[in-house]
Chains A and B, each alone.
Chain A
Amino acid sequence: MPEIKVTPLGAGQDVGRSCILVSIGGKNIMLDCGMHMGYNDDRRFPDFSYVTQNGRLTDFLDCVIISHFHLDHCGALPYMSEMVGYDGPIYMTHPTKAICPILLEDFRKITVDKKGETNFFTSQMIKDCMKKVIPLNLHQTVQVDDELEIKAYYAGHVLGAAMVHIKVGSESVVYTGDYNMTPDRHLGAAWIDKCRPDILISESTYATTIRDSKRCRERDFLKKVHETIERGGKVLIPVFALGRAQELCILLETFWERMNLKAPIYFSTGLTEKANHYYKLFITWTNQKIRKTFVQRNMFEFKHIKAFDRSYADNPGPMVVFATPGMLHAGQSLQIFKKWAGNEKNMVIMPGYCVQGTIGHKILNGQRKLEMEGRATLDVKLQVEYMSFSAHADAKGIMQLIRMAEPRNMLLVHGEAVKMEFLKGKIEQEFSIDCYMPANGETTTVTTNPSVPVDISLNLLKREMALGGPLPDPKKPRTMHGTLIMKENSLKLVSSEQALKELGLNEHQLRFTCRVQLQDPHSDADTLHRIYTHLKSVLKGYTIQHLPDGTVIVESIVIKVSSSAEDSNTKVLLLSWSYQDEDLGSFLSSLLKKGLPSGIC
């Protein structure tokens, strides 16, 4: 039986470093190629030596697909393509292709310029890597080679995020990347058609969460920000430069406009402006409201939000600052956090998921004293709020996607093991399908039951149709006779005559003969006549002939009578029938074995 193998190199029972290998129908595909936020050593990149000990990946991979531009999904891409070596096609959507290099460059700067690492990919490598990228459009079927085809679906989450449907022959896999089933202020909801893949590989970041309605969350968020501003505090919102940040910006911008607030909102500079530019461009990827109103005013042209300068952090008075990165593990957000942490009037709102080991994770778990580099400690006095604005599907959303796609198997990645375990139970109970959750490096094998397409000759089909009712009834399967020819990698179902003709074979007649002893005192001719009348009364609707040469012929069955040598009362009947009339023949033999009824003359 054919198999599909899935091996996560990253994101197996873990969040970050998404990288999943899929072997399907003899093709090897890499889904996402991300880095891990929590590590600074070799562990931050997937272990490509799993694929090849040394040497280039090109020979082993047929294509690489990147679902969206977050670094935990594309951070290792230049490393893989340029440093490990991969020259094959890389697929991503247009917005991802546009924004991805900005983020990679930023990432490179932080690691190389700030931390002083060597042996890291260079700007040129990012550029070279991007040259290998082939852009995808939504719902466009792209033929990677003769057999492998991929198709992208809208996934919400961030601008340009896509789910991919990978198909080889009749086997298929859907990889969701990160997705969001509830629309937000700037993006729509993920959608997929009923493609019934063999495996649905889904993220499960919020496997145990059912979020409150989006609107209460927004209201709470606005209320918290408003209250802090009114009592003169500062609000820090650590975000990743792209994605959630834009949503929160739109939210705050409209709120500021409505409530006529004057406190400044800042957005830490750098990549923001470039990124915002792309947000303005890719309007078709945003939600209904923005698409409808951009003619009057593009929602991404902010009025109240200004660029942030480092010196502003010490300004007196209330302000709201969006700063990167989102998990408070480095960069500007951490600097501002250190400055503001001591004042209980201030507030930090964590709008998303925090990986273990980051400061964000620590303070969310209630740690009030933090150890910084150089043995310094930091007292956390400001309020810490957690608002789940992360645009991942919650448990209900995952269930909804499963219902939409109707997969035969389910595979969970990109989540914590305990939570996955819980969701796995749920899925198995609700949909009664198998659910897997492999760890990194662990291979899951799923046997598929692909349907084999067979050509059927039109003549045969028409003939069979003419025999039965006028229309095939899907409720009642019907058997038909034909010959299956396997020739030159193709299957054909034809009528037996045609098969013989095609294969140049002679037709062999197969006849069965059988002797039946019968006690009958009459002469042979009379016996034959009695048999004839008997059969005539039993088999209505068949052609029965009594031939002058002393035989009775029923269809193709020949019946002869001879007296046995010893006893003239014992008659021996000779029955002979061809293979095609097997049913009738065996019926007749058993009928005649019972003897003739006495009432026949």
Chain B
Amino acid sequence: MAAHLKKRVYEEFSKVVQIPHEETPAKKLRLSKPSKSAALHIDLCKATNSTDALQYLLQFARKPVEAESVEGVIRILLEHYYKETDNSVRLKIASLLGLLSKTQGFSPDCIVDDAINTLSNEKSHQVLAQLLDTLLVIGTQLPESPAVRLRLIEVAYKHLSDTYFGVRNKCLQLLGCLGMVDAPLGKENEGAGLRDVQSIISDYFGDQDPRVRTAALKAMLQLHERGMKVHQIIYDQACRLLTDDYEQVRSAAVQMVWVLSQLYPESIVPIPSSNEEIRLVDDAFGKISHMVSDGSWMVRVQAAKTLGSILQVSPHFLEQTLDKKLMSDLRRKRTAHERAKELFASGEFSSGRKWADDAPKEKLDTNTVNLIASGACGAFVHGLEDEMFEVRIAAVEALCHLARSSPSFAEKCLDFLVDMFNDEIEEVRLQSIHVLREISTHITLREDQLDTVLAVLEDSSRDIREALHELLCYTNVSTKECIQLALLELLKNLNKYPTDRNSVWKCLKFLGSRHPTLVLPLVPELLSTHPYFDTPEPDMDDPAYIAVLVLVFNAATSCPTMPALFSDHTFRHYAYLRDSLSHLVPPLRLPGRKQVYGLDSVDSGPGSGSVESAQLFLQQSLNRVSTIQNLEAPGAQDLLDFTIRDLQRLGELQTELAGAADFCATYLRCQLLLMKALQEKLWNMAVPLCLKQNVTATAAAQQILEETYKLEFLYSGLESRQVAIIHHVRLQAKALQVILTARTRQGSDPLISSCERFLQDVESFQRLFLTELPHLQDSFVDKLLELMPRLSSCKPVELVKILQTTLRQSGLLQLRLPEQIHRATATIIEPTGESDNPLRFTSGLVVALDVDATLEHIQDPQNTVKVQVLYPDGQSHVIHPKPGDFRKPGPHRHRLITQVYLSHTAWTEPSQIEVRLLLAYSSSSTSLTSPSKLGWSESLESLPPAEAAVEGTIPLSKAVKVYIMPKPTRR
């Protein structure tokens, strides 16, 4: 209270005295405060000639200026501006003005007048353009000031008629950025009259300078982006600009036409050469497709991209883009069947595939109306054959967009996409495979198309092969021959590239489940069964045989008659595969096979039911565990043991719930460990007698800590409730540690510091999970917080005692599961660890080891996933893969393909090193994403930095052993 009073007194005192004081230095402040401007002023005054001045300005521009001194600097600059005779210096000043008005926290409205004034006296066009640019910056900084905007627009109008292109450019830019939405401009000045900004801009579509034309188009596009509805009148002008001599104009015109086609798709435009009329969107589509054969590849890319987003076009026009015929009414289908036949004799052009089929038969009927400019026909044929792969990719993407919205078009463009699989650039091939996958719901591949598609399976690029597998997963085929063909080629692929095993199996799984009826007639042949003779039992470890079985079993799920065709060993193999590759082999209803049926009864029934029942089971287990009131209750341990075991098994069986089950199991294990550590009799014993137990308890505490980090960082989809519970467990473990320290160490110093640290932990927990506290009723933390005032003042020994009792009395927190929990997993595909041939290299040099791994449910793997190499001598290296080594084949999935460099001194014998993936975490990163981020950062200063971010790594995958042999150097 006294302090408060004193403060007030002081305040009042200062008020009285300061007022007169403030008056006088106010002026001084203006001059002296922006010390920078003063320095600048002096510099500029010192400058004897323009070169010097320019140098000073350049130096000045390198340093940032604080927001409060900006205005002063600007005044100085303007002052100098009026005095300066040299154009380049004035230009630099003008550009500096623009730069300065961009300064954060500075509102440039005070300099608008000055900037406009400078314009009126300026003679040099370049400087004028720069000044207008400055005004543009100011205008964009002040979006909510209509007065400034109006003035700037007036200025722009005034200078639009300048002879220098740069000035006109900038004026148009100004109009584009600031032109009023939905209000006719320039009401005050009678010259502009009621003309609105659009018609003024469109006047400059015909400017003599291509740069101004471009700027006018861009300004119009800018208006559109700002929400102004562009008038339809300019459509004709924009179309005329499509044939401009300059590529940047054409490119902008393509955009303009596109915008208009999106705004007025249904309005009708006449065709110049005839008296027919078509929809505007069709006309625009035709014109843009024409641009796909433009002379400049930039325009071609632009046009091809744009085509993909005109979805309202009529199918009639759309199909013409795939037609190479000059005339549109003589359309022909370009299916491969027809292509194989003699080519459609249209009487116009030959195809160039048959000798002398090009004798012109009839003259063209000149009355035939070209509905669409002839260049539009076959736009995509052109685009896909373009010289530049950029254009080809754009065309493929456009095809994709259009095909997704039109099934009939998808059907037609199929041949072309399949053709693209033979492109010479891998990127294009890959892209077209992806596109085909995306539209594959619309289409059914014919045999010959499939043939072409499958030929790509031999491609040496892994990306291509895997993209193709992915494609085959989604493909529909029409005949059983197709299935056979696909299987054959996939087996060939498997044989050639054994590393594709998983991908091929997965592909066959989908192929089977999609086409059960087509697989059915193939079954005897595939399983090589014979009506009379027993055939030899195939080798169960043969990947090719497994592939066939995966196909057959997946087909059998929806084809109940199929199992009748199986021979005895097939059933045995089924049982084996169902267990070992449960993600590939679905549960089957096998009549008369009791033991197989029984095994699957846990999660029997069709897929969705089993997931539900498993979910139910999971919930029940958790409920059962939640009945444990006290950690010391008898039988609690057993119950936890059983539940953990159940959950683990459930996770293995039901992949959908693996994450959730694992999460629960780990959490329960933590609880179990805690329980065990607390139940030890050590608590009743004298300290020296229980050294051994102490060791186990310490280990337990350590393990719980590790597990909590795993819980927190390894699982995605956690909500703050779960995070709170995890932190709670961690807190418990820390409490345990404190108690143990108290028991083992005799000195009081470590105890005091650890107690302090613990209390800080509790506090930060409280801050972090303030919203979650009500849900933590009756928990350890809850009780601690009740006792908090007492804790903070009591002695360490007392604290330990309190902790001990609360820890033992606190109940088990019930775990509630969020919707989706996924465990981050990683599997190293390569190296396989099966090779007996050591990797030999000269010691001291490096050898590159290819590592290929799939990662699932990892956010931001570029920063978190590391590769660890462990040498036999205990030396361990952690390698950070390059961001480019990660690919993203699907949602929540990543693929790491990288090279790890190994090196070591010479060994006498080959030995194994271990390679594994690690997940790096840092607690700070998650705290930032947690909801109470603000509270945390506020208290940052009070926390010791060591506690702020706990960094560490969690092993993410099983270690793979690689046999290596560094040889001594030969001399």
Q: Which of A's residues lie within 8 Å of B, judged by CB? A: 182-183, 185, 188-189, 191-194, 206, 208-220, 254, 258-260, 287-289, 350, 364-365, 386-388, 394-396, 399-400, 403-404, 418-419, 422, 425-426, 429-430, 469-472, 474-475
* Smallest CB gap from B244: residue in A: A194
Q: Nearest Cβ in chain B — how far from A416, in angstroms?
A: 10
Q: Number of B residues whose C-beta is below 8 Å from A?
A: 48
Within 8 A of A (CB), among B329-384: 339, 348-356, 358-360, 363-364, 366, 374-375, 378, 381, 384
Residues of the B chain whose Cβ atoms lie less than 8 Å from the Cβ of A210? 324-326, 349-352
Q: Give the CA-CA distance A425 to B425 in the complex, in Å.
A: 39
User: In the docked arrangement, what's the CA distance between A194 and B247, Å?
Assistant: 11
Q: Is the CB of A474 within 8 A of B208?
A: yes
Residues of B close to A472: CB separation below 8 A: 208
Whether the Cβ atoms of B351 and A212 lie closer than 8 Å is yes
A-facing residues in B173-200 (Cβ within 8 Å): none
* A427 vs B902: C-alpha distance when bound (angstroms): 68
Chain A hits for B364, CB < 8 A: 425-426, 429
> Max chain B CB contacts within 10 Å: which of A194, A210, A418, A422?
A210
Contact A288 B389 (CB under 8 A): yes
A426 to B366 Cα, complex, angstroms? 10
Within 8 Å of chain A (Cβ to Cβ): is B385? yes
Q: A210-B352, A219-B419, A394-B352 are in contact. List 14 more A-B contacts (CB 8 A).
A: A183-B387, A188-B387, A191-B295, A208-B348, A208-B349, A208-B359, A209-B351, A211-B352, A213-B384, A288-B388, A350-B355, A395-B349, A422-B363, A471-B163
Alpha-carbon gap, A467 to B389, bound state (A): 54
How many angstroms from the CA of A556 to the CA of B882 in the assembled complex?
88
Q: Does B420 contact A (CB under 8 A)?
A: yes
Interface set, chain B 141-174, CB cutoff 8 A to A: 161, 163
A260-B353 in contact given A213-B384, A430-B374 (Cβ < 8 Å):
no
The answer, yes or no, to whether B416 is at the interface (CB within 8 Å) is yes
Contact A388 B424 (CB under 8 A): no
7 CB contacts below 8 A, A to B, read A188-B387, A208-B360, A217-B353, A254-B424, A289-B424, A425-B363, A470-B163
Once bound together, how far apart are the Cα atoms of A422 and B362, in whole Å? 10
B415: nearest residue on chain A (CB-CB)?
A216
Nearest-CB distance from A293 to chain B (Å)? 9
A220 surroundings in chain B (CB, below 8 A): 353
Query: Chain B contacts of A394 at CB under 8 A?
Result: 349, 352
Contact between chains at B366 and A429 (CB < 8 Å): yes
Q: Which single residue of chain B is at the shortest CB-CB distance from A469?
A: B161
- Contact B353–A386 (Cβ < 8 Å): yes
| Complex Cα–Cα for A220 and B455 (A) | 14
For residue B206, which residues in chain A have a CB less than 8 angstroms away from its CB? 474-475
**B387 and A215 contact, CB distance less than 8 A:** no
Known: A429-B364, A474-B208. A219 touches B324 (CB 8 A): no
Q: State A203–B599 Cα separation when bound (angstroms).
A: 78
Using a CB–CB cutoff of 8 Å, the interface residues on chain B facing chain A are 161, 163, 206, 208, 245, 293, 295, 324-326, 339, 348-356, 358-360, 363-364, 366, 374-375, 378, 381, 384-389, 416, 419-420, 422-425, 452, 455, 458-460
Most buried by B among A194, A208, A404: A208
Contact A396 B353 (CB under 8 A): no
User: Are A206 and B352 within 8 A (Cβ)?
Assistant: yes
Question: Given contacts A213-B384, A289-B425, A429-B366, are A260 and B458 in contact (CB under 8 A)?
Answer: yes
Chain B nearest Cβ from A257, distance in angstroms: 8
B355 contacts A364, C-beta separation under 8 Å: yes
Given contacts A188-B387, A216-B419, A388-B353, contact A193 B295 (CB under 8 A): yes
Partner of B324, one of A183, A206, A396: A396
Q: Are B422 and A182 in touch, CB under 8 angstroms?
A: no
**A364: B residues at CB distance < 8 A:** 355-356
Nearest chain A CB to B362 CB, angstrom units:
10
Determine if B349 and A215 form an interchain contact, defined as CB atoms under 8 angstroms apart: no
Q: Which residues of B contact A192 (CB under 8 A)?
A: 295
Q: How far is the CB of B358 from chain A (nearest CB, A)?
A: 4
Our pick among A212, A403, A471 for the contact of B161 (Cβ within 8 Å) is A471
A422 CA to B355 CA in the complex, in Å? 18
List the A side residues contacting B358 at CB < 8 Å. Answer: 208-209, 419
* CB-defined contacts of A429 to chain B, threshold 8 Å: 364, 366
Cβ of A206: which chain B residues have Cβ within 8 Å of it? 352
Contact A287/B381 with A209-B349, A387-B353 known, Cβ cut-off 8 Å: no
Chain A residues, CB < 8 A from B349:
208-210, 394-395
Q: Which of A387, A471, A474 has the most CB of B within 10 A?
A: A471
CA distance A500 to B27 in the complex (A): 68
| A259 closest partner in B (C-beta) | B458
**Chain A residues near B324 (CB-CB < 8 A):** 210, 212-213, 396
> Chain B residues near A217 (CB, 8 Å)?
352-353
A287 engages B416 (CB within 8 Å) = no
A386 to B352, CA, bound (A): 8
Nearest 6 interchain pairs by C-beta: A388-B352, A211-B352, A215-B419, A364-B355, A183-B387, A210-B349
Chain B residues with Cβ below 8 Å from A419 are 358, 360
A570 to B348 CA separation, bound complex (whole angstroms) = 84
Q: Are B161 and A470 in contact (CB under 8 A)?
A: yes
How many angstroms between the C-alpha atoms of A254 and B426 in the bound complex?
13
| Contact assessment for B387 and A189 in the assembled complex, using a CB-CB cutoff below 8 Å | yes
Q: In whole angstroms, how far apart are the Cα atoms of A105 and B805 in the complex?
A: 106
Shortest CB-to-CB span from B54 to chain A, Å, is 31
Q: Considering the chains assembled together, what is the distance between the CA atoms of A218 and B424 in angstroms?
A: 12
Residues on A with C-beta less than 8 A from B366 are 429
Residues of B close to A395: CB separation below 8 A: 326, 349
User: Are A213 and B419 in contact, with the CB atoms below 8 A?
Assistant: yes
Given A188-B387, A419-B358, A474-B206, is A258 in contact with B353 using a C-beta cutoff of 8 Å? no
Q: Which residue of A lies closest to B377 (CB)?
A: A396
A219 with B295: CB separation less than 8 A: no
A471 CB to closest chain B CB, in angstroms? 5
State the Cβ distance, A525 to closest chain B Cβ, in Å.
Answer: 45
CA distance A350 to B355 in the complex (A): 10
Query: Which one of B163, B206, B339, B351 has the greatest number of beta carbons of chain A within 10 Å?
Result: B351
Interface pair A183/B386, CB less than 8 Å apart: yes
How far, in angstroms, from A211 to B374 measured CA to CA in the complex?
Answer: 16
The minimal Cβ–Cβ distance linking B569 to chain A, given in whole angstroms, is 34
Distance between Cα atoms of A365 and B356 in the complex (Å)? 7
Could you say which of B163, B208, B355, B422 contacts A218, with CB atoms under 8 Å apart? B422
Q: How far is the CA of A388 from the CA of B356 in the complex (A)?
A: 11
Picked from A208, A386, A471, A474, the residue with its CB within 8 Å of the CB of B354 is A386
Q: Provide the bound-state CA to CA distance between A191 and B374, in Å.
A: 20
- Give chain B residues whose Cβ lies under 8 Å from the Cβ of A209: 349-352, 358
A287 to B385, CA, bound (A): 13
Contacts of A216 in B (CB 8 A): 339, 419
Say whether A215 contacts B422, CB under 8 Å: yes
Cβ-defined contact, B351 with A288, below 8 A = no
The reply to whether A403 and B339 form a contact with Cβ atoms under 8 Å apart is no
A469 to B452: give the CA distance in the assembly, Å: 67
**In the assembled complex, which residues on chain A have CB atoms less than 8 Å from the CB atom of B386?**
183, 189
Interfacial chain A residues near B356, Cβ < 8 Å = 364-365
User: B419, A211: Cβ atoms under 8 Å?
Assistant: no
Alpha-carbon separation in the docked complex, A192 to B339 (Å)? 33
User: For A288, what are the chain B residues with a Cβ–Cβ distance below 8 Å?
Assistant: 387-389
* A288, B390: Cα distance in complex, Å: 11
Minimum CB–CB distance for A62 against chain B, Å = 30
Complex interface: chain A residues within 8 A of B354 (CB): 386
* Cα-based distance from A305 to B351 in the complex (angstroms): 30
Minimum C-beta distance from A357 to chain B (A): 15
Q: Which residue of B lies closest to A389 (CB)?
A: B352
B695 to A: closest C-beta gap in Å: 60
**Which residue on chain B has the smallest CB distance to residue A386?**
B355
Of B293, B351, B420, B455, the contact of A211 (CB 8 Å cutoff)? B351
Write the chain A residue with the least CB distance to B295: A404
- Are B360 and A418 interface neighbours, CB within 8 A? yes
B-side contacts of A211, CB under 8 Å: 351-353
Least Cβ–Cβ distance between B372 and chain A, in angstroms: 13
Structural contact, A215 and B459, CB atoms closer than 8 A:
no
